[in-house]
Amino acid sequence: MTIGVVVFPGSNCDRDVHWALEGCLGISTRFLWHETTDLSGLDAVVLPGGFSYGDYLRCGAIARFAPIFKSLVEFVDRGGRVLGICNGFQVLTELGLLPGALTRNRDLSFICENVALRVTSSRSPWLQARSCEEVLNLPIAHGEGRYQCSKDTLLKLQDDDSIALSYTTNPNGSIADIAGITNSSGNVLGLMPHPERACDPQIGGIDGRVILQALIG
């Protein structure tokens, strides 16, 4: 089993995902430079946090044109699991693999803290090991994590049971307290909290492990 971790020039959580997977969970990984198109031999792909291409225009707006994404879209179409964390979530919405968009936090400043999240749906493979309403504690660290979408999209997300995680106390003004969503088939998960930061008892608990374990499960 090997998990691909996409690396943009401005990724800064790529090594963290690598550490969480290999160092904490014993799952092997392979870094994927954004210019590669070869996803062969991978069981799942993680888009880590960071600032992909500097994100001066809009988070993830430039990243979506990276060569790797043609292969990634095919990978998703074949049912491959893709996890987008923070900036990775932003890129997934820019790519259209997930609906909606992420905008500046309500209070306009960056927020780094540990938050409580409610498992809103355990339909997808990502959270099927947890039951609905269960609470996970995960760190957030973002300036543009306010999830926004149209009313119709929100209804569809709810109808499809695609809202995976929501904040118990909304830190950034996201619509319907949304912290993470899946696509309708459930193989793509995008979330603003950082599960890789909660895999290691020494620094922040282990509530994130369930999500990373699902990459191989």
Partner 1 sequence: MGLKTLLKELFNWSSTSYKPRIEDYDVQQAIKDEGLTLDDYMEICRRLKRIPNRTELGMFGVMWSEHCCYRNSRNLLRDFPTKGPQILVGPGENAGVVDLGNGHRLAFKIESHNHPSAIEPFQGAATGVGGILRDIFTMGARPIAILNALRFGPLEDKKNIGLIKGVVEGIAHYGNCVGVPTVGGEVAFDSSYTGNPLVNAMALGLMETDSIVCSGATGIGFPVVYVGSTTGRDGMGGASFASAELTNTSLDDRPAVQVGDPFLEKGLIEACLEVFKTGDVVAAQDMGAAGLTCSCSEMASKGGLGIELDLDLVPAREEGMTPYEFLLSESQERMLFVVKPGKEEEIMNRFTRWGLRASVVGRVLKENVVRVIQNGSVAAEIPASVLAEDTPINDHELITEPPSYIREAWNWKETDLPISDLTGISPLNIKFKGKYLTWTDILLYLFDDPTIASKNWIYKQYDYQVQLNTVIPPGAADAAVIRLRPQDSNNSLSSINQGVAAVVDCPNRWCSLDPERGAMAAVLESSRNLSCVGAEPLAITNNLNFASPKNSTGYWQLAMACKGISTACQFINTPVTGGNVSLYNETRSESGDLIPIQPTPVIGMVGLVHDLNNICFPNWVNAGDLIYLLGVPLEKLPQLDNRISLGASSYLERIHGLQTGRPPELDLNLEVIVQTFIRKCIRKKVICSAHDLSDGGLAVAIGESCIGSGLGAEIHLNHCDVRIDRLLFGEGGARVIVSINPLNIKEFKQLLIDNQIPSEEIGFVTAEKELIIKHGNVKVVHTSIDKIKMNYLEAIPRRMV
Cα-Cα-Cα-Cα torsion 96, 151, 115, 195, nearest 10 degrees, comes to -20
Note whether 75 binds partner 1 by CB under 8 A: no
- 18 tagged catalytic: no
Span interacting with partner 1, options 65-73, 75-83, 94-102, 193-201, rule CB under 8 A: 193-201
- Identified catalytic residue from 86, 94, 142, 199: 86
Q: Closer CB to partner 1, residue 141 or residue 176?
A: 141
Note whether 204 binds partner 1 by CB under 8 A: yes
**What SS3 class is residue 54?**
coil
Encoded tokens for 215: 């990459």
Tell me how far apart the alpha carbons of residues 98 and 193 are, in angstroms, rounded to a whole number: 16
Span interacting with partner 1, options 53-61, 63-71, 76-84, 155-163, rule CB under 8 A: 53-61
Span interacting with partner 1, options 37-45, 109-117, 127-135, 175-183, rule CB under 8 A: 109-117
Residue 38: exposure state from Cβ atoms within 10 A (0-12, 13-18, ≥19):
exposed
Q: Closer CB to partner 1, residue 19 or residue 153?
A: 19
**What SS3 class is residue 143?**
coil
Instruction: For tokens 């964390």, name the residue.
Output: 85
Amino acid at position 191, single letter? L
Note whether 109 binds partner 1 by CB under 8 A: yes
Q: Which residues contact 173 (CB under 8 A, 6 or more apart)?
A: 105, 106, 107, 146
For the CB of residue 127, give the shortest distance to partner 1 in the complex, in Å: 22
For the CB of residue 10, give the shortest distance to partner 1 in the complex, in Å: 5
Encoded tokens for 142: 């973002």
- The DSSP code for 135 is E
Note whether 207 binds partner 1 by CB under 8 A: no
Scanning residues 165 to 184, which ones bind partner 1 (CB under 8 A)?
A: none
- 22 tagged catalytic: no
Closest-CA residue to 147 (of 211, 92, 76): 92
Encoded tokens for 71: 């292969």
The single residue among 12, 37, 103, 128 that binds partner 1, judged by CB under 8 A, is: 12
**What SS3 class is residue 56?**
coil
Catalytic residues: 86, 194, 196
- Footprint of partner 1 (CB under 8 A): 9-10, 12-13, 15-16, 19-20, 22-24, 49-51, 53-56, 109-113, 139, 141, 143, 194, 196-197, 200, 202-204
